[in-house]
Amino acid sequence: MEPDFSAYRLSAEHEAVREAVRAVCADKVAPYAADVDASAQFPQASYEALRAADFHAPHVPEEYGGAGADALATCLVIEEVARVCASTALVPAVNKLGTLPLLLAGSESLKRRYLPAVATGDALFSFALSEPEAGSDPMSMRTRAGADGDGWVLTGVKRWVTHAGVSAYYTVMAVTDAAAGADGISAFVVERDDPGVSFGAPERKLGIKGSPTREVYLDSVRLPAERLVGEPGTGLRTALRTLDHTRITIAAQAVGIGQGALEHATAYVKERRQFGRPVADFQGVQFMLADMAMKLEAARQLTYRAAAASERDEPGLPFLGAAAKCYASDVAMEVTTDALQLLGGYGYVKDHPVERMMRDAKVTQIYEGTNQIQRVVMARQLLRG
């Protein structure tokens, strides 16, 4: 029997996605990346470019007006956008994070009410799980949702919400039964214009400055019953299942950031001359580049493998998603740091994009679960057999 090696390469359709996204990014995203970082403003022009090409929320199924991209194609979109602008890459990544709870557990009416606007780009969708005193420990959340007639009333504060204030919709986790522990947390869709919803000042961040991060304040926000995502008490399970899938998009973002830094550093050392010869001629530099490229390719393949597991909803997804996110983000931080080193003093100034890429890479080790939490997830999966 002849072996089938097709699984070890991208399909023609996936390669076409990569080429299309790369073309859009070269022309309409990369030129704005430095200004987006410097101004710390949402990348509206880049967003419109992604929207025009249907890359802003590629995961939304066709039945809701979306492109229906699979998990791997979505990762390819995010990887290629992150290669030139990590802030803009959060547009498709966070749209998936915010809407996936609806796709996993929401009613059909809820999907049909909210997903079409995301598919067309008329609305962004965010995810609100963390709180000031509940980051890695979601069981400590204090946001409450009390039953009120045929609806709910939410009160609390959510922190580290990406695109807060820009997004029209939010998946919000809240305690509905404090005595039930993990089974007492429910998920709701909150709209930006709901009475009682407000936002804190934008966080002043090290990187991904073009992606606004703010607190979301919920002051007796009254919601109709149909805004509940799934059954009462299933919110935490939905959130954790969502993260199993979406951590892979952060891995893809990390791979893209690292690839962009590697390409810039490689071009630089070929042009830069010291001691009468190109810096690329020195073996120490060549070894650095080889290690960077090797680790990036390993991270990329692990990410693609995890994306395949996500698409098939494999039992091993929790391990693979955590492994891809953890390894790829660690590699991105290492590669961008080494890329900056290869540029020397030039790498430390904003005339070159590598210092921005290094700052952007850091957060991939933190959000959607710190890499310490990813190792806990992996260890638990191993110990469970």
Question: Cα–Cα distance between 223 and 108 in angstroms, integer?
Answer: 18
Strand partners, 185: 175
Catalytic residue among 79, 131, 215, 368: 368
State both tokens at 288: 């650095």
Burial class, 278, CB count within 10 angstroms (exposed 0-12 / middle 13-18 / buried 19+)? middle
Our answer to whether residue 368 is catalytic in this structure is yes
Strands 228-229 and 144-148: unpaired
**Single-letter residue type at 368:** E
State both tokens at 119: 């598919």
Question: Cα–Cα distance between 152 and 146 in angstroms, integer?
Answer: 5
State both tokens at 164: 């807060």
Whether residue 313 contacts residue 270, with contact meaning beta carbons closer than 8 Å, is answered with no
State both tokens at 54: 């249907």
Strand partners, 233: none
Catalytic positions, written as ranges: 368
